[in-house]
Chain A
Amino acid sequence: KAGVTQTPRYLIKTRGQQVTLSCSPISGHRSVSWYQQTPGQGLQFLFEYFSETQRNKGNFPGRFSGRQFSNSRSEMNVSTLELGDSALYLCASSLVVQSTDTQYFGPGTRLTVL
């Protein structure tokens, strides 16, 4: 099976712009989670989607949003970009949304905000 894929792999934006990142889960997986990875804060949970519904949300401002489509693909959007949003954004997919499900990560999208 193909692994989790993310596009684009690299992005450079300026402050105030918005950005949309895409994630395609492993075939058959219905849950997608998003994480932000920075050197200072490490890996932090953003949100989780299952069956096109946001199931959980981490402690991030409303500028961070996402959605999931009927084919389980997911997008996340960050509006009004700030310098501190520069990070590696990782998505992970799992079969369903049980707490004990294994999550498999994609390669990430490296976002740089200038």
Chain B
Amino acid sequence: GENVEQHPSTLSVQEGDSAVIKCTYSDSASNYFPWYKQELGKRPQLIIDIRSNVGEKKDQRIAVTLNKTAKHFSLHITETQPEDSAVYFCAARPSGGGADGLTFGKGTHLIIQP
């Protein structure tokens, strides 16, 4: 089955700086890569996703890049703000009619220092 590795496990950045979280996956059949943000005690919320026919996607301060050859994808947050503090999860899902559920990375605790 799919295996997703996520780094770093904790990331502390100064407010206003950029944050980058990286994930690698193992199954070359994966074609869907979402990112979720989970605040303490709340549900995971989708912040951005990318499908394998696209190499990069941007939504305001958030961008995701995908390198299918290297099997890795990254989340970029620019101009970080205190409300960006949360745990971020990457995930991957293989194609084939949805044969498996989402496989998640272990999460990155992002801390925005004022």
Binding site for B on A (CB under 8 A): 4, 31, 33, 35, 42-48, 55-56, 58-59, 90, 97-108
Contact = CB atoms under 8 A, between A and B. Distances in A.
A48 B98 contact: yes
B34 A102 contact: yes
Nearest to A100: B32
A56 B98 contact: yes
A25 to B, nearest CB: 14
A102 to B, nearest CB: 6
16 contacts: A42-B104, A56-B99, A56-B101, A59-B1, A97-B98, A99-B98, A100-B31, A100-B51, A100-B95, A102-B34, A103-B34, A103-B102, A105-B43, A105-B44, A107-B43, A108-B43
Interface in B18-54: 31-32, 34, 36, 42-46, 49, 51
A59 B93 CA distance: 15
